[in-house]
Amino acid sequence: MSRSKSAADINILDAAEKWKQQCLLDGGSLFSEESLWTRENFDQLRIYFVENLDKGSGNFYEKLAQQLEPAPPEAKRLWAEMTWVLFLIVYRGMLKPETKRDQIRQVWEWSGSKLPDNHWALGDVLAKGVTNPGHAYNTSRWRECRFFITTMMSWFSHSSEDRKVLLTGPWGFAEWLDAQEYCQGRQFRHAFLYLLFPDAFEAIMSQGHKEKIVNAFSKQWNENLLTNGKDSIALDQALLKIRKRLKDEYPDTGIDFYSAQFKDIWQSSQPPPPPPPPEVRETAPLFVSYSIDNILTEGCFLQRKKLETILQRLHDKKNLILQGPPGTGKTWLAKKLAFVVIGERDEDKIRPVQFHPNLSYEDFVRGWRPSGDGKLDLVDGPFLQMINTAKDDPESKYAIIIEEINRGNPAQIFGEMLTLLESDKRNEDEALELSYRKREGERVYIPENLYVIGTMNVADRSIAMVDFALRRRFAFVDLEPIFGNVWQDWVHNQCKIDEAFLSQVEEKMNALNEQIAEDSNLGAQFRVGHSYVTPSAGEIDDSHEWFKQVVETEIGPLLDEYWFDALDTAQKAREKLLEEL
């Protein structure tokens, strides 16, 4: 949709078009005739910046100068041009044009070259900007730069023709961008899309503001505007619908969501209107599509490639077990993997089951149960129920999640069904008779559209080794405690916990896990996972008190159990977690 634009918008978007052509497509440069925008040069920035982060206190450019000092001059000049892109959209009230130019020139001249004073890209185009991204865009600039660099490495791994194709449509490009590492929570994501596709995306760099706008107009118009899901792209598509409708209602008005006319609507303190009537609510989709992107967005700290491998093994094998120390997110991830396999967030297509020492074949598959009239009935257990449900709906996929699969006796609990689990026996020709049959000649097989996902706590002292027959039929994936940048980013963004404090927590958790791993009576399988110190999304008012409570009520009792015969060791480990915080 073509929209009216101010002179500042037009100037900036013309500049963005030149950047797109000269740099994103041609791999050239804004300020010189050399080829700066290449995968090789971004790889240098990866080496000297992304893999050499300095998140401590101090001036960003002082630290950056040290990080880039050994980098080749081309990488330094590329950084200067990246800075130009990052500054292009920023409103002058937040960053003066003189400051923009000085910082761009400063980094360029680290390379030993002089930047021409009269270059068009340093002129009026930097004077005004179109939006205020907020304080975090400066204070967390290293995050935006890391996202920029890793995204460009991915971009320039594509051929020139493929890059042209990616730029042909806004939504396909947005899907590609949102799939990139470190995209979650990045404000530059919004700027990037606006600069390249201004007729589809808003000059709004706050995800929160976008959500408020869509929610406000959904309530005002009494309809569901998020008809394409709830991810970032669906939000942008809803904003475009709102813009089109407002343009129809106010044909003589430039649509600016930050103008008083419209800002009062989405920042109003007035109570929302009553919910829409049933006939409107029923038009919303029953289930939301689900993919790897959702897993990453919701707090998975594994790399995308690792997730893709896990899912491929699940697709191939049909049966998968996630194993690892306590607190590594096994149950959480099992459910998310099930949603991806199913293709939507549909709880009705998932059946959780808890294995325990007293669980039997009769409980899980089929067995005799007392009926109301004092007789015994042959009743299907959860596994056979899911088998029949999946058979009746072959176009859909289903999953059964078995928690702590090694706490029971899997060979005994599955019985003859253990053989049928194999991926090459998921057909009617391989059907077997059950121990308990409801009719003569009844045979059962496990359909291809039923997946089995198990979890296994390798630190549980009460269980024996897993039966070899079970191991042969499942793919096994080890989950490790994951701290580091990905964990810190998520907790900081979702819970507003200070990064410096998170670094302290990480350091203490790593020290504790090292002590546990080196203990001859414990070992690596007893380490404490990241889930213990990953709160649910939502602002934490007092991070110190939160961590203290976690140590006292969760980690501490676990350590007492580990060192039950040396409680002084457990107490000292507990004290170390809390000292100097």
Residue range of the domain that includes 260: 207-281
Give the torsion sign (CA, 454, 459, 461, 465).
positive
Q: What are the percentages of helix, strand and coil residues in the chain, rounded to 5?
A: 55, 10, 40
Tokens 């009926």 belong to 371
Name the token pair of 540. Answer: 């934490």
- CA 241 – CA 227 distance, rounded (Å): 11
Q: How many CB atoms lie within 10 A of CB 187?
A: 22
Q: Classify residue 287: in a domain, yes or no.
A: no
Q: Report the C-alpha gap between 532 and 332 in whole angstroms.
A: 13
Q: What pLDDT, in 10s, does the model give residues 570-580?
A: 999 999 999 88
User: Which of 221, 253, 281 is a domain's end point?
Assistant: 281
* Domain count of the fold of the chain: 4
Domain end: 171, 196, 221, which one? 196
Cβ–Cβ under 8 Å, residues 469 and 419: no
Contact 427, 308 (CB under 8 A): no
Domain boundary among 235, 253, 281: 281
- Do 368 and 422 belong to one domain? yes
Residues 106, 172 share a domain: yes
Q: Based on the domain organization, do 248 and 310 belong to the same domain?
A: no
Residues with pLDDT less than 50, the chain: 1-4, 269-286, 461-464
Output the pLDDT for position 438.
Answer: 83
- Are 295 and 500 in contact, with CB atoms under 8 Å apart? no
- Where residue 391 sits, what CATH number does that domain have? 3.40.50.300
Distance CA 513, CA 400 (A): 32
Is the residue at 2 inside a domain? no
Residues 368 and 439 in one domain: yes
Q: Which tokens is 448 given? A: 């291809």
Phi, psi (rounded to 5 degrees) for 116:
-60, 135
Strand, coil or helix: what is 80?
helix
- The values of phi and psi at residue 147, to 5°, are -60, -45
What are the distances in angstroms from CA 153 to CA 46, 50, 148? 9, 12, 9
For residue 56, what pLDDT is reported? 60
- Residue 333 counted as domain residue: yes
pLDDT in tens, 188-243: 999 999 999 999 999 998 888 898 899 889 888 888 888 665 678 999 999 999 99
Query: What pLDDT sits at residue 288?
Result: 61
202 falls within a domain: no
pTM for the predicted model, two decimal places: 0.55
